[in-house]
Chains A and B, each alone.
Chain A
Amino acid sequence: MVPLMLLVLTLSGCSRNKETLYVYNWGDYIDESVLGEFEKETGIKVVYDTFATNEDMYVKIKSGGSQYDLIFPSDYMITRMRDEGMLEKINLANIPNFKYIDDRFKGQDYDPKNEYSVPYMWGTVGILYNTTMVDDPVDSWDILWNPKYSKQIIMLDSQREAIGVALLRLGYSINTTDVDQLNEAAELLKQQKPLVLAYALDEAKDKMVAGEAALALVWSGEALYAMDENPDLDYAIPDEGTNLWFDGMAIPKGAKNKEAAEKFIDFLCRTEIAFRNADYTGYATPHTEARKLLDPEILNNKAAYPDEEDLVNAEVFVSLGEVLRDYDRIWTEVKAY
């Protein structure tokens, strides 16, 4: 929840003992009952905090002072943090359940040897829409710029995704390092701003369930969750392409309880636990056995488990280096506009 994010959580540094594991995950991204089970089984106390975007998490870890043992960054953020020496190598020998992870999610470009991350979930970015309010076909990002839906559009309040959608609409790569293309995307987002009802994160799905807006840019799992709550909702991946993403589990440099973090990773890779998390969050699991336990209806749902052909245009975010400053500047300008 955003308010929780706003109250920057400060951990008390004094009472740390060996048997505590500090976990920093995305909001609403786990079946929280598994935390208690882990505690009961291992005797390790789990302190669980949440963040709303990769950038939030990065800034918090980078500024130091936090003491997390396990974090859940996405693909490009794993690369960035690895390159900046912010991640600890994971010893896969301590994670026997790693064998259940589907080979196609191993050795991705963002972490070629899985030295720094173990895949947790994957998904896409697309448009969640209310079929009773939208009568045009939802097959292009253009619809998010359609004045007909003025003040009925919710945008994702996350810079890579929002700028990425503008870039896709312009026919550019979501990893562009061309400043002119980025400025074009910025203009497009400024044009869109009067049509936008709100820039939201976790709360977007609740707004859509309540019928407060017609269209929302969301991550696939949010869409699944919302569609489950309100049958009028549907999810589409536009033809221009999308962002295919992978969230991993990683251990930040200087983690005090690496051993427990690896235990927890292994625990989350257990078939039953991975199934429960996938079932609860609505996101796609890279776990081969957990997948088999899921309701076939979900597996056949293209929003959750898109086919290869739906993903031909999909691109994975890569870490951008210095040009990231331009992304930051553009996002600040768009929000300030």
Chain B
Amino acid sequence: MTRSKAMLPYVVWMALFIVVPLFLVVYYAFTHTSFNGAELTFANFQRVFQPIYLKVLARSLKLAVISTVICLLLGYPVALVMAGNAFSRKSTIMLLFVIPMWMNFLLRTYAWLTLLERNGALNQLLTRIGLPALNILYTDYAVVLGMVYNFLPFMILPIYSVLSKIDQGVIEAASDLGANKFVVFMRVILPLSLPGVVSGITMVFMPALTTFVISRLLGGGQYTLVGNLIEQQFLVVGDWGFGSAISMVMIILILISMAVMSFFEKSEEGATLW
């Protein structure tokens, strides 16, 4: 009894801020409001599956996958170095990744705007040392850069947390049995770190798929991603039905990817971050 009483605030909270809004999304997605009131419709979903919007979805998926892969390739080695015994500057590196997060996310992204401009700081530096200028602002490259920059810590931290918990005895045992460093990594460390990798991928992929600020600022409003499309429906054209339908499709996509992830997570033995 006491336990269920203690749960009450959470249940109320979840009902109010998760369940009710979800029902509202479903309601708007399936209704068309006109002067005659609301009526049931599937038109919003038909519209989502028009080629032009499928292209937006494909573009978002592509950019999210690219960003996630880059984050993994950059993040894993850093996590590995940080978790290594020989490395004494763990907290310094950690601090370097965490300090930028004290700043507002919008400001950090806005700063890239000035850095990447045609006459911006980066290009001035490049031309001064005799390199050709880089015009990547308002392209896919800038959007991916923004995503990697903002989401990289979410990849490093879970991987680091799993790596640092690996029992050193296991690694020593592998070495004693004649495995060289490469084999130890491939057959012991990597498999044991997979749960962290899965968490990292989930934590980067989802915000990358749904971001609208990064693509709005660094893509110059040209590279419409799913997040921008939804934002536009709610804030500019006021078509809540269509906006909700896209949101529902996104929710389903994310549920599927989470199911795939948890399948991998279960099939691997070892500690999870959660």
B118 adjacent to chain A (CB < 8 Å): yes
User: Is B220 in contact with A3, judged by CB distance below 8 angstroms?
Assistant: no
A92 adjacent to chain B (CB < 8 Å): no
Nearest neighbor of B34 in chain A, beta-carbon distance: A322
Residues of A near B106 (CB, < 8 A) are 3, 6-7
A210 adjacent to chain B (CB < 8 Å): yes
Contact A6 to B224, CB < 8 A, known contacts A55-B238, A336-B53: no
User: Is B52 in contact with A211, judged by CB distance below 8 angstroms?
Assistant: no
B222 adjacent to chain A (CB < 8 Å): yes
User: Is B216 in contact with A198, judged by CB distance below 8 angstroms?
Assistant: no
Rounded to whole angstroms, the CA-CA distance of A335 and B52 in the bound complex is 10
A196 adjacent to chain B (CB < 8 Å): yes
Residues of B near A210 (CB, < 8 A) are 117, 119
Stretch touching chain B among A261-269, A298-306, A326-334: A326-334
Return the CB mask of A19-40 against B: 1 if under 8 Å, else 0: 0000000000000000000000
Nearest neighbor of B56 in chain A, beta-carbon distance: A336
Rounded to whole angstroms, the CA-CA distance of A53 and B238 in the bound complex is 13
Q: Which of A57-86 contact B (CB under 8 A)?
A: 58-60, 62-63
Contact A332 to B213, CB < 8 A, known contacts A53-B236, A197-B138, A210-B117: no
B228 adjacent to chain A (CB < 8 Å): yes
User: Is B237 in contact with A332, judged by CB distance below 8 angstroms?
Assistant: yes
B140 adjacent to chain A (CB < 8 Å): no
User: Is B238 in contact with A62, judged by CB distance below 8 angstroms?
Assistant: yes
Residues of B near A197 (CB, < 8 A) are 138, 220
Nearest neighbor of B226 in chain A, beta-carbon distance: A336
Q: Which of A62-118 contact B (CB under 8 A)?
A: 62-63
User: Is A59 in contact with B119, judged by CB distance below 8 angstroms?
Assistant: no
State how many angstroms separate the Cβ of A157 from the closest Cβ of chain B: 5
Rounded to whole angstroms, the CA-CA distance of A335 and B224 in the bound complex is 6
Contact A336 to B236, CB < 8 A, known contacts A2-B216, A211-B119, A212-B118: no
User: Is A200 in contact with B220, judged by CB distance below 8 angstroms?
Assistant: yes
B254 adjacent to chain A (CB < 8 Å): no
A199 adjacent to chain B (CB < 8 Å): yes
A56 adjacent to chain B (CB < 8 Å): yes
Rounded to whole angstroms, the CA-CA distance of A8 and B106 in the bound complex is 13
Q: Please pick, from B118, B228, B235, the residue contacting A59 in the complex, using a CB distance under 8 A.
A: B235
Nearest neighbor of B237 in chain A, beta-carbon distance: A328
Nearest neighbor of A51 in chain B, beta-carbon distance: B235
State how many angstroms separate the Cβ of A3 from the closest Cβ of chain B: 4
B239 adjacent to chain A (CB < 8 Å): yes
User: Is A336 in contact with B221, judged by CB distance below 8 angstroms?
Assistant: no
Known: A198-B221, A332-B242, A336-B55. 13 other contacts (CB 8 A): A3-B213, A6-B106, A6-B213, A60-B235, A197-B138, A198-B220, A199-B221, A210-B117, A328-B238, A331-B237, A332-B232, A335-B229, A337-B52
For the complex of A and B, 4 pairs with smallest distance between CB atoms: A198-B220, A199-B221, A328-B237, A59-B238
